[in-house]
Chains A and B, each alone.
Chain A
Amino acid sequence: MCTYKCLHSNCVFLRIVLPEGALSAEPEARMEMVLRRASQGDQRAFAEIVREHQGMVFSIGWHFFADRALAEDLAQEVFLQLYQGLPAIQSTSHLTHWLRRTAVHRCIDHSRRKNFRRESPLEEMQEIATGTAPADSFLHERLRQTVAQLPEKQRMVVLLRYQEELGPGEIAELLNMPVNTVKSTLHRALEELRGKLTRKLKEARYAIF
């Protein structure tokens, strides 16, 4: 039972109408302002840029390497590089594009230098297989791990397609590849993923039973 009482004889307050929309500027216009301030040396504004984009930059590294510490280090380097080159950034869309491009190329460079390869140990697979996690998050976890084991080019194409939702043309421009190569690489990557996942699940089943 819900009761309401207005105990003040002059209850002007109750006639307050909530605004229909937000009073502040559109998000994009606001980010343009933040970018301008950051370019002028405002560190608070730069911190806001970091907060806004750290999810994207970190996730590219994390999904590429499946290594949180490495992903954080690379993401940090990207933002420090951004801080040096802020005056050259012309707009928020340029900023997003620059961050994505820099993160991608840093990942690829690091991978080539270290010849990075990650294999999930059998114990980890067993844990996941016998855990009480719902089926879809088990699948997602396996997908993440398997993506991280793809060859470097396929891995990055998959990330850009499904994490960043970029089209083949945008991926081609980012990776300096012909569009058809992007499409065929994506096709092969998905085939590889299906094959790897099926093999891993069979191995896990044998391990359990």
Chain B
Amino acid sequence: MRRRSFPPLLWIPAGIGFALLVLPLVGLVVRAPWAQLPGLLTETAVAQALGLSLGTALVSTAVSLVLGVPLALVLARSSDWPTVPRRLVRALVTVPLVLPPVVGGVALLLLLGRRGLIGQWLPVTIPFTPAAVVIAQVFVAMPFLVLAVEGALKGVDGRYEVAAATLGASRFTVFRRVTLPLVAPGVAAGGLLCFTRSLGEFGATITFAGSFPGTTQTLPIATYLQLQTDPDAAIALSLVLMLVSVVVLVSLRDRWVPGVTA
């Protein structure tokens, strides 16, 4: 069979595009102060930021799983809803994906700030606390999980659920023992995407939670601030974030996300 044609001229923009994606990462690896790396990563400020980021990202992923999987189920089963509310709900769930994260942070402040719509009635202050970090991360990252799980749910043959019902299973049992296991790969992929997005969250976090070392200063925020005072520490932190991304990409590769193959 004849090879599909490819205009040679297109190699130039394709090559520049590829370089634009890869060269910054190469620069990061080449310029990394490898010898001082262990020392840099164990510095108090860096270790604090790393610990806070991993902790809050894990909590926000757990929260997103608990809230996002049922939300995905609602969206996947909304085919018999009237068109307008169905499309509106889906659009609203998708908004945080396209919204600048800083705007998300401002919106969260207006809702949960001390004078916010809901915040003024709360007995506790949420902004500028680790809880605010988690809420900002959930706001930005949960839609990734919802869309991944919704896609997986749409791919499940609904007749398995019918078969389970004929065997005496209640609706919740069907969800727990049939639906959820069948979409487990989608849930795992969504959870990983959610975790990495939470780990890299910057704009909404700094706006809603601020940047207090040990309390709300996450890894991306610490990286940005260190770049101005201690570039080597910033590079070390960037390497950690990159390493986590690479690990997630490798985990997702062909096992859990069809189409993402080497």
Decide if A and B are genuine partners.
Answer: no
